[in-house]
Chains A and B, each alone.
Chain A
């Protein structure tokens, strides 16, 4: 057993629980805090499940999707985004992006699992889902496609991660490609879950599926920069020349993507103000109840501040990048919230001019909902911090000392192992062949 562990440690850079034991007390306390929060969130969520969600959740008949769906969307958007950004490198061969692959794919899986944790407490009968999704599928339902494709996506990402650890770049590349295709299909279906509800003018149309993909790429760029710079704070040794080059490249891409999302947002506002039912939603975002959400979080923290700071950072001021992207993650959460909740604020009978539908429908997240959302988010944080230690900052070896028989691949930046009697060139060909 020990032999296998040593072997895995060497091959995968896996340092296991030992690495946690060696961590500083502060680090362990941080881990403990996230673990506690996750347990507390799960407990509160289970309480809600037992007493019945309608007693404890803030969602209603009219606003049926609340902060849990927003948080779920946030998680899966980030997951898909990490997959998109990392695929630039290890699927499409953009060399600069290669060093981030392992951390990005790991975090992509973790964000997906976190999303599933959250949706578990939103869906009323999660256990039925497993059965009837399979034996009674409705192929015209976006919800079905979204759930099924995300399931497949998770499988592909896990297999891809395994091959990344195993240094099998041809198979990891293939799996990464499948994961990307399925992930984009799944994610645009998530956009279509909203975009194909034609009774909801704020959502209806092709805008959301398209927006979701660009928004995912932006979130992915933001997330990978945040987790990498945070990892650099934890362990400065993860940063080396290749990683610095990667950060610079991702920084550039993210600046471009933020600009794209600003463009999307401007046109959403401008087109919205000519149709009455959209206008009241837009106005609630611009000047009404959601103005702080929109201007402070979505626009300032989510777009303008990171755009400014990332440009200022020139892609090599990691402290600045960490603050910019960390605040941007908060802003992005509100961005998701500002799609999910306002879309339901206008009653379907508003245009009928009846008294009951005169005002916008209100929604405030309840304690149970916030805790259930925190459950998923703390699982992500816990897994991230534990992963940084246990997986040795997603490097192979400390200082990336090249182990015996290995070499640093000039193409992908990873450490490859030569087989007996093989030259470096042959090993590289073996690692990077498509089949």
Chain B
């Protein structure tokens, strides 16, 4: 490839006036695409597959979500009040013994912040698309459901080596003596979803809507709406592990969430209204 020779030192500054709006827009677009900010690139980089787009690191070119229904949970962190109703519902629904848990709520304390001193972070199995536990299991006792993408257990195959418990970067697994196998969140597949319910135990028990469960491939679904927006930052836990998790986190303060759910335009993002 030949490059034109340009002597940059003697080049005359043309100024920005002569740059057309279109050129300027293209230039900005290019920059956004590279940094991954453009069109929800932040999420693109976290989710393994997405609508037609480049993931921000440039390595994945993905067409669509790999599962249908692609179950996912969006946790609106600011709404969690640590009532633990989700944990109780989970324990009851899935017969979780007292020495174990499938989900829990972590506490982060702050000093010197003006608005909040404490924040609650519900955690559970992230049903990763590249699940380290599935790779580590010697007998395929844990596997990625080919239809729903739920990471499930086939208890009778579990030899109890506990490699999956250490492979999991989300501490989502424990050994259940009653099942004689490692137990974990299955998005209530066995107890609820397979019986026709549409919500998991924890999400239906949540009084504030901090846990929203749904199908990422359905544009009408709440999780789709919460993830596919630019106004609020959406993140995942431990993105550096490259596990492509399906539990998304956002602050979820009420006003912007209302806007999203009502499908309104963002008032403060429209310069004409300001």
Contact = CB atoms under 8 A, between A and B. Distances in A.
20 contacts: A61-B174, A61-B175, A124-B162, A124-B181, A128-B156, A129-B139, A136-B139, A137-B140, A138-B139, A141-B138, A142-B136, A143-B136, A197-B132, A197-B163, A197-B166, A198-B242, A199-B166, A199-B167, A344-B166, A348-B170
A129 B163 CA distance: 13
Nearest to A347: B171
Given A124-B180, A128-B157, A198-B132, A355 B174 contact: no
A196 B137 CA distance: 12
Given A132-B159, A354-B106, A354-B107, A124 B139 contact: no
Interface in A333-371: 344, 347-349, 351-357
B138 A133 contact: yes
A24 interface: no
Contacts of B139: 128-129, 132-133, 136-138, 144
A196 B136 CA distance: 9
A43 to B, nearest CB: 20
A348 B169 contact: yes
Interface in A111-137: 123-126, 128-129, 132-133, 136-137
Contacts of A147: 138
A53 B174 CA distance: 13
B126 to A, nearest CB: 11
B123 A349 contact: yes
Interface residues of B, number: 42
B121 A354 contact: yes
Interface string A40-77: 00000000000011100001011011000000000000
A191 B70 CA distance: 35
Contacts of A144: 138-139
Given A124-B159, A128-B159, 17 more contacts: A53-B177, A54-B177, A61-B171, A61-B174, A124-B181, A125-B160, A126-B159, A133-B138, A141-B136, A141-B163, A143-B138, A143-B161, A198-B242, A347-B171, A348-B170, A349-B106, A352-B108
Contacts of A349: 106, 123, 171, 237
Interface in A127-177: 128-129, 132-133, 136-138, 140-144, 147
B157 A64 contact: no
B141 A124 contact: no
A125 to B, nearest CB: 5
Contacts of B166: 64-65, 197, 199-200, 344
B137 A356 contact: no
B136 A136 contact: no
B184 to A, nearest CB: 11
Interface of A: 52-54, 59, 61-62, 64-65, 123-126, 128-129, 132-133, 136-138, 140-144, 147, 193, 196-200, 344, 347-349, 351-357
B137 A355 contact: no
Contact of A348 (B136, B175, B238): B238
A37 B139 CA distance: 34
B171 A62 contact: yes
B138 A199 contact: no
Interface in B139-194: 139-141, 156-163, 165-171, 173-175, 177, 180-181
A277 to B, nearest CB: 11
Contacts of A59: 162
Name the residue in A65, A136, A137 with the highest tally of chain B Cβ atoms < 10 Å from its Cβ: A136
B30 to A, nearest CB: 33
Nearest to A55: B177
Contacts of A140: 135
A124 B175 contact: yes
B98 to A, nearest CB: 11
Contact of A141 (B135, B237, B241): B135
B109 interface: yes
